[in-house]
Amino acid sequence: MPHLTQLYIDGRWVDASDGGVFDTLNPATGEVIAAVASATAADIDLAVHAARACVDGPSWGLASTGAQRAAVLRRLGEVVAARHEELARLDALDQGKPLREARADVNDVLAACAHFAALAEGLDDEGPEGVDNGSNGDFTTTVVREPVGVVGAITPWNYPLLMGVWKVLPALAAGCAVVLKPSELAPLSCLVLAAMLAEAGLPAGALNVCPGLGPVAGAALADHPNVDKLAFTGSAPTARRVMAAAATGPRAVSLELGGKSAMLVFPDADVDAAVDWALTGVMWGSGQVCSSTARVLVHVDVRAAFVEKLLARLPAIAVGDSLSAEMLARGDAPAMGPLVSAVQCEKVWGYIDDARAAGATVLHGGDRAEVAGVAGGKGYFVPPTVLADVPPDSRAWREEIFGPVLCLRDFRTEEEAVATANDSAYGLAAAVMSADATLCGRVARRLRVGVVWLNCSQPAFVQAPWGGVKQSGFGRDLGRWGLDECLVVKQVTACASGFSWGLW
């Protein structure tokens, strides 16, 4: 089946206004998958105006009920379920992730469809909220929640379909219209999302998908005066530009940015479980996960056992083309795909080289020769890598690597562990491994992050809020908190009949 490669604006598939395209590549082989239409500022303008017309029109926005919007989202779930394997293989091709990971993403999409449909229905039951205004009945005040309007969403490449859904579904549930700019590194599944929502009955203009380059399409979307809310997931440097553009509105903005999350392994932890969760926290997605618990802090009393068990597990992780016969034959056995691009791959190798030069010890991986022949030597591969005693002032310890690189240090006291974990510009997530529930609760409270995992790493549930603090951003995706990001509150105050202040 040919890939969808055009822009989706106002319910129609169209070429870019200037005919421009960009190539999306298979990161396992470096080969071109398809030439995709590259949106211009003019295309973004058309998409925003289509979204505005839809949200102000007779079939969406305030003119729609939560039940009507929920019906679209539930129907989307049916369409996604019918195309489950196709969608998983598309992200595996375009982004490079193993099929078991891509299938898990599609399962999460299904959960999001059901969850946000239920939240949309719940909006019908809310009604106006009465407020005690202290006027002794001279005035009555109520508060209602309404769609914020047009949402401009800019999403990353590490979870192409899922991140699109995280931004689009709560906005649609709230009654907003969306212009989605997916990453140019993996845009194909977001285009399929547009087709599936059209099949599910979404009105034209409620979702517009405009793949394109960040400095062109992304900048135009962030700058557009008719966008009411910007929702961005990506890097901190790009977020600063989004914030600056939002300030010219001004317009609402939510940011889910990078991380340098820590895992704290205390001496009473189940070491086997800690190793398993540490691998999940760093090797899932080939480390291209913003919440990756890549800084692993292990108590000195269990460091030797932890390292021994960790190194024993790593050789079982296969690295290769996720859709090759060899990798498919492995089923759900431990596997990693390529990094998303040549640029990202070289960036990760640069961090490994810098860490080695700074005095870190390479316990596993870190050698280009290990992956030189993988998939014919044309893809963007980095082997699972463990760096021990990484200097706390080094780039590898302090900056987001976004690759399969575990950085290890030890600690002696709880105070030291918490201080080291908090000594970061980021604050997205952290994991605490301990058999002591009291210690877990105490440490969780002291960690300056938006998400804390106790005796696990990386679970994300559509019902729970997702987001960080510090340079990991602000605002939340998922749950009712994600829906709240797409709603505004309106005060309605009525004066009692015949009452007057008598001021004039």
Residue 63 is classified by DSSP as G
32's CB contacts (< 8 A; 6+ apart) are 23, 24, 25, 26
Cis peptide before 250 (omega within 30 of 0): yes
**What are the tokens at 366?**
């870190």
Q: Is there a contact between 92 and 73 (Cβ–Cβ < 8 Å)?
A: no
Active-site residue list: 256, 290
425's CB contacts (< 8 A; 6+ apart) are 260, 398, 470, 471
Strands 473-474 and 252-256: antiparallel
Q: Residue 302 in 3-state DSSP?
A: helix
Interatomic CA distance for residues 282 and 288, integer angstroms: 8
- What's the distance, CA 59 to chain centroid? 30
Interatomic CA distance for residues 58 and 430, integer angstroms: 46
Amino acid occupying residue 126? E
Interatomic CA distance for residues 454 and 434, integer angstroms: 8
Q: Is there a contact between 281 and 431 (Cβ–Cβ < 8 Å)?
A: yes
Residue 2 is classified by DSSP as P
CA distances from 493 to 67, 125, 133, 138, 145 (A): 27, 21, 9, 10, 14
Q: Name beta bridge partners: 233.
A: 256
Interatomic CA distance for residues 13 and 2, integer angstroms: 14
Interatomic CA distance for residues 394 and 209, integer angstroms: 40
Q: Name beta bridge partners: 239.
A: none
Interatomic CA distance for residues 342 and 324, integer angstroms: 20
Q: Is there a contact between 218 and 181 (Cβ–Cβ < 8 Å)?
A: yes
Q: Is there a contact between 73 and 116 (Cβ–Cβ < 8 Å)?
A: yes
CA distances from 248 to 41, 148, 241 (A): 17, 18, 11
Interatomic CA distance for residues 158 and 287, integer angstroms: 10
| Backbone angles phi and psi of 489, in degrees to 5 | -100, 140
CA distances from 265 to 4, 299, 306, 371 (A): 46, 6, 9, 30
| Backbone angles phi and psi of 234, in degrees to 5 | 165, -150
Minimal CA–CA distance to 480: which of 116, 76, 110, 113? 116
